[in-house]
Structure 1
Amino acid sequence: MLRSLDIRDMLIIDRLEMLFDPGLNVLTGETGAGKSILLDCLGFVLGGRGRGDLLRAGAGQGAVTAVFDLAPDHPARAVLDEAGLGGDAGDEVILRRLVTADGRSTAFVNDRRVSAEALRGLAERLVEIHGQHDDGGLLNPRGHRQLLDAFAGSAAELEAVRRAWGTLQGARRDLAAAEAALAAVRAEEDYLRHAVDELDRLAPQPGEDASLDATRRSMQAAGRIRDDVARALQALGPNGAEALIGDAGRWLDTVADRAEGRLDGAIAALGRCLTELGEASQGVERCLEALSVDPAALEAVADRLFAIRGLARKHGVAPDDLAGFAEGLRQRLAALDGGADDLRRLAGGLAAAEAGYRTAAAALSDRRRAAAGRLDRA
């Protein structure tokens, strides 16, 4: 129940406070006394359109406050709960709305700011406003169908038509989407088949890029190391240190008997040196064999690595994603190959939906025609 209405600086009203008693309250007055202004202000606080011309001349801000008593089981409480205002609603609800000269308005429910939409939703549960021309709606053809359906009791038929229409619209959307998708795939069929063939021939695997890169780097490093090891082996071999030490030993052997033993230690050391040198040469030679790199194998690794990376750049994906990308292309080709079957299936579903809608619409039309005759005779 509306308990009070407080108006400040609205239209020609400076300030007005109205209190209402339970039951019927009647406002009377001559034409121009301001009854319509009160309704305009009430409509404004209930969510009507805010306008700058509602503001009293010379005022900076107008305000309307309406206080309603709210029973515990009042349907407005559901709206308050939905808007998150249920905890603020006691036995009364206070609606307050402000307007400025530029037409901007601000609404509050129990001193909490709300949107105009939320205010209107609440007001629909609080107030019904009727005018002297309410029966004019009977002359509006747009309302005749609702009146006829209400008289005919065709709620079940209406619901069946709504469901059938929803099914029909869904079938149309599904068919249109499938046709568009199939057309898009057909437009790029040549590209898809070429790309899939290229990817299948290369057959890249996840992780292969990193593995090939590591192998290539290892082989390249081995090649560089092998050059130095080979030079070391040459320096140690018969044409290097081994020959020099051997010559030194032979020269000392020729004069050892005349040196009265003074060269014995040196000659023995040279012998040991030759032995150690031989072992060193064997170790270096084994390392050299282990570092042997087949240039053709290195070239093959590099070629595959660069082919994978080139294909990844071409398709704009990471090398490790090429396998998944190829699978996606295959699925699109499969959709192309099976697209005609899907279209036939969806077209059949659309035909069934159209038939269902026509059947439901015919049943509703029959009930309306039967009720129209009864209503005309009533």
Structure 2
Amino acid sequence: MLTELSIRDFAIIDEISITFKEGLTVLTGETGAGKSIIIDAIQLLSGGRGSVEFVRHGTKKAEIEGLFTVQPDHPIYKVGQNYGVDIDEDGMVVLERTITHQGKSICRVNGKLVTLGIMKEFGHSLIDIHSQHETQSLMDPDRHVELLDVFAGEELRSVLDEYVSVYDKYRTMKKRYKELSENEQEMAQRLDLLEFQLRELQGAEMQPLEDEELSEERKKLMNFEKVYQGIHDAYYSLYGEQRGMDWLSHAMTSLESTSDVDDNLAKLSEEMTNTYYLMEEMTFKLSNQMAELEFDPERLNQIESRLNELNRLKKKYGATVDDMLQYASRIEEEIDEIRNKDSHLSKMESEIAELSEDALLEAQGMREIRVKAADQLAEFIHVELRDLYLEKAAFAVDLQTKPGKQGDPELDGTPVQLLPNGIDLVKFLITTNPGEPLKELHKVASGGEMSRIMLALKRIFSRHQGITSVIFDEVDTGVSGRVAQAIAEKIYGISEGSQVLCISHLPQVAAMADTHVRIEKRVEDERTSTAAKELSMDEKADEISRMITGAELTATTVEHARELLTMADKHKN
């Protein structure tokens, strides 16, 4: 859930900090007070497009910071792993967005700088924003297959993973086949280039880890004097008259003379004797090391020349010798493919056909699960629509395939195109008027109907998507009466599974709020600013009363407001 939101120098907001709670939080206030500005700020945290227009006049930058808390199994942990962002065991995620007056946008997740695209991935895992004009994935036909798969659950996910694995191999093989078969001239030029590169790499006669071994040897040769002096000084500190070993020998002899008097001294004497012989072995090693040291200026020149040659090749073929050897191996295989193109193409055709049949088999398995899930989803949506007084509405999930071409796998004798998530094109269809044909969801015209349809869909999908915070920005526009009450109940129903933040002008929705925040516009020192205040129960009744009348409070409207609050409590219970 979104726990805290801090906004500084954003539009008409100078500085505001709002603490959010679980359940349903409703934001109300007069038009222009800044309610939608707060939603705009949250939208920027989810990767929305920034603009210098958001920076408060007279300031250098707008800053937005949101603190989210998530459960240990939340999908955002996987997103964090993908981009190297640490999310601790407490499940706290901080999204930060800064927009400068020069138009620069700076994004951070848990203090780490990220691109806007990465921030969008984090934001979409945490926040789902819906407005009268922007309904994101629910209204996007290209996303309907993903939503159906989310609804289908784990049964489909395991089959989809298998399909994606086969499909990736199929797509890679087809791409390589196309490259190898289409352009003779390009292939000839490619062959000349690869043969030149292979001759150059093979002519260098590189050995595995050669660059690392040469660098280590060069380091020793370049520091020969320092190394020799260190070993020399260490050796002669130990060996020689009145040196370390002499004194250790004297200490050992002195302790041996007391070992038959005191058992404790006998143990010390034994330890001293062992130490002496260890140090004696050390002097032998130092002596051998000195004897082996030999400075060869010509060898250093040879190493420098060889490393220069390797570094020249690294600029073209890889960061290390091992990388270059691997590259040589790859291009050798590619040269063989091009030289023996016909036999390779024939082999690849067989592999492509086999992979396409494997992928089609997995896709058919997914299709069966999707058909079953589509029927179940339609039943659930019809129930939700009836609750929202769209009894005559009809909803269906349309599953089609994209026609393929010759060489594509065949389904019931007809070629079909393999897509990244199967063979299915999924569209949500609806009609709200009896006798009218089903139409694509995004083509439904009425704003009030669209609000109810979107809420019905959201009520179903919010249980499956794992979104932390669902935000509704005036989705209840254009409705009233019993429909308004039904919408209020649906929004509250969504808040039972996810935190919901809702901007609303409906008193029925405000009455359902677990937390009611009033957004107010103030003018101080000839500057406009926005403030947020969490309302007490009495203040909540007064605010709902104002929403009913749009004017001064009266005893009747306050009583009506309290009655709405009582009805809301009964519904919650």
- Give the TM bin, normalised by the shorter chain: 0.3 to 0.5
Using the size of structure 1 for normalisation, the TM-score is: 0.47
Whose radius of gyration is greater, 1 or 2?
Answer: 1
- Higher share of residues assigned strand: 2
Greater relative CO (CA pairs within 8 A, separation 6+): 2
